[in-house]
C-alpha cells in the first residue's frame, strides 16, 4: 500500500515565504480546489491519502514534503530553513509516528524535504538557501546503518533541489540543467526539460504514472515521447507560493 500524507491549504497562504518569486495575489478558493484535485488524483491511483486539517497560523503548511524524509526503514524529521516553517514539523511527527521510528535533524542543521531526492539507495540533498551541510552530515549518520549514500548537490537559481530534478523512473531523471549540474547525476538517464519551461522538472511518480502540470506542455511532450504515462494535475495557484506537485505530499510505502 502506498500512503500519502497531505495537509489542507492554510487560509493564510498569501503570507507564505518567497525566495525566488515576486509576491502575487493567491486566490484561496482556487488553491483549495486545485489541492482537492491533487488528492483526488492520488486516490484514483490507489494511494491512501491521509488529509490533515489546515493550519491557519502556518501559511506554508500545505507543503508537507518539507517536514520529513520517509524511507522504508525510518523517518527523519527535518528542520526547515525558514523559521516561520519550523512549527510545521510537530503535527507531521504525530502522524508519522504511527508508521515509522523517528529521528530528527538538530541545530545547526537546516533541511527542507524539497531538497531531498531519493533514487534507490542514494539520497541526494540540495545545498540551498534552506538546507545546509550540517543537515547532510546528520542524514549520513542516521542512514549509514541502512546502506544509504547521502550526496550533497549544489542548487542555483531555484528554491529546492526538486525544483530542478525529480525521478520519473528507477533509472531516469527529469532535469533542468540551468539549476543543477548534470554531471552530478550521470549514473542516471536524463531527460532535459524544454528550456522555455524552467519549472517543468517537478513531477510525482506513483507506480508507472507521473502526476504532471498542464502548464508545461513542451516538456510533457518530451516525457510522452519517451514512453511515460502522464496524469495532469493543475497546481498553478500553489505555484505562486513557490510550491510544486511534490511539495504537497509525503509519499511512502505503508
Where do we find the cell 525521478? Answer: 167
**Peptide bond connecting 221 to the previous residue in cis, omega within 30 degrees of 0:** no
Catalytic residue among 16, 35, 158, 247: 247
Is 16 an active-site residue? no
Backbone phi and psi for residue 16, each to the nearest 5 degrees, phi listed first: -60, 160
Grid cell for residue 72: 522504508
Catalytic residue among 16, 35, 158, 160: 160
* Nearest residue to 75 (alpha-carbon basis) of 55, 106, 96: 96
Is 247 an active-site residue? yes
Distance, CA of 254 to CA of 99 (rounded, Å) = 7
Catalytic residue set: 160, 247
Amino acid at each position: 500500500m502506498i500512503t500519502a500524507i497531505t495537509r489542507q491549504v492554510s487560509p493564510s497562504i498569501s503570507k507564505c515565504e518567497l525566495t525566488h518569486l515576486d509576491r502575487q495575489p493567491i486566490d484561496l478558493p482556487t488553491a483549495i480546489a486545485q489541492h482537492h484535485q491533487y488528492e483526488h488524483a492520488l486516490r484514483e491511483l490507489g494511494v491512501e491519502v491521509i488529509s490533515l486539517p489546515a493550519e491557519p497560523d502556518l501559511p506554508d503548511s500545505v507543503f508537507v514534503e518539507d517536514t520529513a524524509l520517509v524511507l522504508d526503514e525510518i523517518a527523519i524529521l527535518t528542520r526547515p530553513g525558514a523559521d516561520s516553517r519550523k512549527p510545521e514539523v510537530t503535527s507531521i511527527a504525530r502522524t508519522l509516528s504511527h508508521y515509522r521510528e523517528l529521528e530528527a535533524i538538530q541545530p545547526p542543521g537546516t533541511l527542507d524535504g524539497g531538497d531531498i531526492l531519493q533514487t534507490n539507495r542514494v539520497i541526494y540533498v540540495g545545498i540551498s538557501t534552506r538546507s545546509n551541510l550540517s543537515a547532510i552530515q546528520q542524514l549520513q549518520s542516521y542512514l549509514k546503518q541502512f546502506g544509504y549514500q547521502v550526496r550533497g548537490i549544489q542548487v542555483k537559481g531555484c528554491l529546492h533541489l526538486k525544483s530542478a530534478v525529480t525521478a520519473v523512473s528507477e533509472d531516469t531523471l527529469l532535469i533542468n540543467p540551468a539549476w543543477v549540474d548534470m554531471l552530478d547525476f550521470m549514473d542516471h538517464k536524463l531527460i532535459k526539460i524544454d528550456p522555455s519551461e524552467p519549472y517543468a522538472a517537478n513531477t510525482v511518480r506513483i507506480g508507472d504514472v507521473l502526476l504532471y502540470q498542464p502548464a508545461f506542455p513542451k516538456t510533457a511532450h518530451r516525457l510522452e515521447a519517451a514512453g511515460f504515462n502522464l496524469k495532469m494535475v493543475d497546481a498553478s495557484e500553489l505555484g505562486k507560493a513557490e510550491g510544486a506537485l511534490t511539495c504537497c505530499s509525503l509519499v511512502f510505502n505503508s
